[in-house]
Amino acid sequence: MKIRQTTFALAAIAGVSLLAACGGSDSSAPESEVAPAAEEVVLDNGMTPKEQIELRQGQLKKLGKAFKTISDQLKASEPDMAAIQAAAASVPVESEGMADWFPAGTGPDSGVKTDALPAIWEEPDLFTEKLSDFQMAAGALATAAETGDLAVIAPAFATTGGTCKSCHEKFRADD
Ligand code: HEC
């Protein structure tokens, strides 16, 4: 926290001296005139790009784990229905607010290691479409799991998995 405040203050000082050097006294000059280094950036939500990227990767890992659990159980000779239901119920919870996980400034340009492709910010409507396809399918999967009927759960799982894949193909590197 302390480091961030310091770098922020330095960026502000740099901004002031830049304006002075230009002979400008216009305090309404856009902030973008000062291009801060990666570690000085703070997003509108108060997080650094690194914090935001690590947060979403952590949540996505949880989704991956939940999906592996369901997939493993569906293949098992005696599927553990309670495990399937818990995992299916966790997906909508862990992916809540996913639309806010990709603010501008958290792509590969941030200098932080991320598999998020620039296409996310170049084609935001398509990204939002893939995201809502996923959220609808995940909700339906959680509801299907409540039936405890594998014949209902398996197709809902396949549909949801398809929405993960569809987004990854377009918007995630290494896929
Ligand atoms: C709307 C797009 C989208 C949807 C839907 C989506 N993902 Fe992803 N996923 C991404 C992006 C983009 C990344 C790369 C994030 C990064 O590296 O910053 C990613 C990364 C991941 C990762 C790697 C996390 C890490 O860094 O180790 C896993 C695991 C994952 N997703 C699983 C899933 C599963 C499972 C689903 C469906 C239940 C899903 N995702 C749905 C876009 C999506």
Structure tokens at 124: 């935001």
On whether both 15 and 85 belong to a single domain, the answer is no
Ligand 1 neighbour 135 (Cβ under 6 A):
no
pTM of the model: 0.81
Pocket test for ligand 1, best of 120, 168, 174, 175 (most atoms within 8 A of CB): 168
Q: What does pLDDT average to over the chain?
A: 86
CATH of residue 166:
1.20.120.10
Q: Whole domain around residue 93: which residue ranges?
A: 47-171
On whether both 36 and 54 belong to a single domain, the answer is no
On whether both 27 and 78 belong to a single domain, the answer is no
Confidence class for position 150, pLDDT limits 50, 70, 90: very high
25 Cα: distance to centroid of ligand 1 (angstroms) = 46
**Torsion, CA 130, CA 152, CA 69, CA 87, rounded to 10:** 70
Q: Each residue of 91-146: pLDDT tens digit?
A: 999 999 999 999 999 999 999 999 999 999 999 999 999 999 999 999 999 999 99
On whether both 86 and 53 belong to a single domain, the answer is yes
**Torsion, CA 97, CA 156, CA 62, CA 4, rounded to 10:** -20
On whether both 36 and 51 belong to a single domain, the answer is no
On whether both 64 and 134 belong to a single domain, the answer is yes
Contact 74, 84 (CB under 8 A): yes
Contact 49, 38 (CB under 8 A): yes
Instruction: Give the DSSP letter string of 132-165.
Output: HHHHHHHHHHHHHHHTT-HHHHHHHHHHHHHHHH
On whether both 29 and 107 belong to a single domain, the answer is no
Confidence class for position 30, pLDDT limits 50, 70, 90: low
On whether both 83 and 166 belong to a single domain, the answer is yes
Instruction: Specify the number of domains making up the chain.
Output: 2
Structure tokens at 125: 């409507």
Q: Give the H or E element holding residue 82.
A: helix 81-94
Q: Which residues are paired to 116 by β-bridges?
A: 172
Nearest-10 crossing angle of helices 124-146, 150-171: 160
Amino acid 12: pLDDT = 46
On whether both 79 and 153 belong to a single domain, the answer is yes
- Ligand 1, atom nearest to 115 Cα: 17
On whether both 69 and 129 belong to a single domain, the answer is yes
- Ligand 1, atom nearest to 67 Cα: 35
On whether both 83 and 161 belong to a single domain, the answer is yes
On whether both 102 and 140 belong to a single domain, the answer is yes
Q: 169 pLDDT exceeds 50?
A: yes
Instruction: Look at residues 88, 63, 61 and name the one whose alpha carbon lies nearest to residue 74.
Output: 88
Ligand 1 neighbour 53 (Cβ under 6 A):
yes
Ligand 1 neighbour 54 (Cβ under 6 A):
no
